[in-house]
Amino acid sequence: MFGHPKELSVRPRGFRSPIRLRIKTTDSITYEQVLLEAEYAFDLPFSPKIIIDAGANIGMASIYFARRYPEAKIFAIEPETSNFALLVKNTRRYSAIIPIQAALWNRDGEICVTEPDPASGFRGKWAFVTREGRKGAKVRAVTMRTLMQEMRISAIDLAKIDVEGAEKEIFEETGWLAGLGCLIIELHDRLRPGCSQVVEQAMESFERTQRGEATFYVRRTKPAA
């Protein structure tokens, strides 16, 4: 969407494959938080086999999950074109990661990817949101139910959702939560007021833990798929 910034290659200790990051973007912050500081580290009462990484960005969380849960299959969903291109580069040596260019939404069809409203306080050309309308680049919109049908997923063990406010649309339909074991989500009420309330209502039967910007919801007994 915004041209082709210069990239650099880094290789964390213990990694066989390098990580590509764009200079003068938020990529380095995401890399540090997810891979170096392990912000998604959490002891689960089960070993996830199916993982959804919604808002996968450039693939840091997907790579983290692939290394931590080597038996899992990971569906990395990212709508924005430049992010998705780097996601594909960064995950191509991880056979368990399946990149999908799409936006999770409350209907199937198309949605716009654009910059957030400046009044939200989110600035910079690397902050993207999905919204209805004509402004922005068009990308495929898909519901969680449709995604699961297409990928032949019967139940999701672990879902990480960081979608800049679209959580409000995603949680309008909650049937996909039936087999969910754990949700890791970043809530964006500054972008979409009411996000937290919608998610809290949907996850009321789960135990909630906060760690930094990430909220963890865990079902103590993982339901059978």
Q: What is the CATH number of domain 34-101+153-218?
A: 3.40.50.150
Residue position matching structure tokens 């299959």:
73
Q: Is residue 11 within 8 Å of 19, Cβ to Cβ?
A: yes
Q: 68 vs 35, 46, 58, 109, CA distance in Å? A: 11, 13, 18, 34
pTM value is: 0.90
Residue position matching structure tokens 């649309």:
169
Over the stretch 167-211, which tens digit does the pLDDT of each residue have? 989 999 999 999 999 999 999 888 778 889 999 999 999 999 998
Report the alpha-carbon distance of residue 143 to residue 171 in Å, rounded. 10
Residue position matching structure tokens 């040596």:
93
Q: 123 vs 1, 21, 114, 119, 225, CA distance in Å? A: 16, 19, 12, 9, 41
Report the alpha-carbon distance of residue 175 to residue 202 in Å, rounded. 10
Q: Name the residue ranges covered by the structural domains of the chain.
A: 34-101+153-218
Over the stretch 15-54, which tens digit does the pLDDT of each residue have? 989 999 999 888 999 999 999 999 999 999 899 999 999 9
Q: At what angle do helices 60-68 and 81-91 cross, to 10 degrees?
A: 30
